[in-house]
With several copies, the nearest count.
Chain A
Amino acid sequence: MMVTVKYFASLKQMAGKEEDQFNVNEDTTLEQLSELIEKSVPQLGNMVREKKVIISLNYDVVPLDTVVKDGDEIALLPPFSGGI
């Protein structure tokens, strides 16, 4: 099953791309997915482990042991700086 992973702001610059598509097994958690992301964008692995980056699933921030489903949209979000 396929999931989409999007990169934003500084992470998009770091990744050099806006998104990846990953073909994952049933029962894959966000934590396991982040290992696939690390293979695609090596710098991101440590940032996820050190919680410098937040992971969202279908527009909400959820625990890393959440299991993904086919068609899910995951995003890697650097610390927010909206407002002023």
Chain B
Amino acid sequence: MSTALESKVRIQREDFSVTDEIEAIKKSSRNIGGITSFLGTGRESNKGETISELNFEHYPQMAEKKLAEIREKAIKDFGLIDMSIIHRIGNIEIGENIVLIIACGEHRQETFKACEWAIAELKRTTPIWKRETTSKGEVWVQATP
């Protein structure tokens, strides 16, 4: 498990610890009152198909650039104290962590809004692709909102 918390936006193969990431972002300020986190995990079924494995591929450099843009815009537009975004690539087993977005602020309202916006924006703008393995074989997933 990675404890490398050097960057607030990361794309990595290894798993992450939600607790470690929250403790890292807490260091941003002594005035954090609310921290909203979104954790995406691998679901076993999608549209009736049973998924045995997920695999994520990304466009290096562009994906990190888009995550950094999302983080900066979220902090500015929602008045956050800080945000971190981590997305895993490679093979992901059912139940495993895929993506983590943490938004922290003085009050809770802005952290909910920013976190929900950031995951939607990630899906919209960040070049990451999911391949699902089912009994029918491997399928690249079309984007869903």
CB distance from B66 to the nearest CB of A (A): 8
Main secondary structure of the interface of A (DSSP, over half): loop
B100 to chain A, nearest CB (A): 11
Main secondary structure of the interface of B (DSSP, over half): mixed
Establish whether residues B123 and A82, one from each chain, have CB atoms under 8 Å apart when the complex forms: yes
A9 located at the interface, meaning its Cβ lies under 8 Å from any Cβ of chain B in the complex: yes
Contact B143 A84, beta carbon cutoff 8 Å: no
B69 CB to nearest A CB, Å: 9
Contacting B57 at CB < 8 Å: which of A8, A59, A84? A8
- Number of chain A residues whose Cβ lies closer than 8 Å to a Cβ of chain B: 17
Chain A residues near B (Cβ < 8 Å) = 6, 8-10, 13, 56, 59-60, 75, 77-84
Partner-A contacts on B (CB < 8 A): 33-34, 40-43, 56-59, 61-63, 65, 87, 98-99, 108, 119, 122-131, 140-144
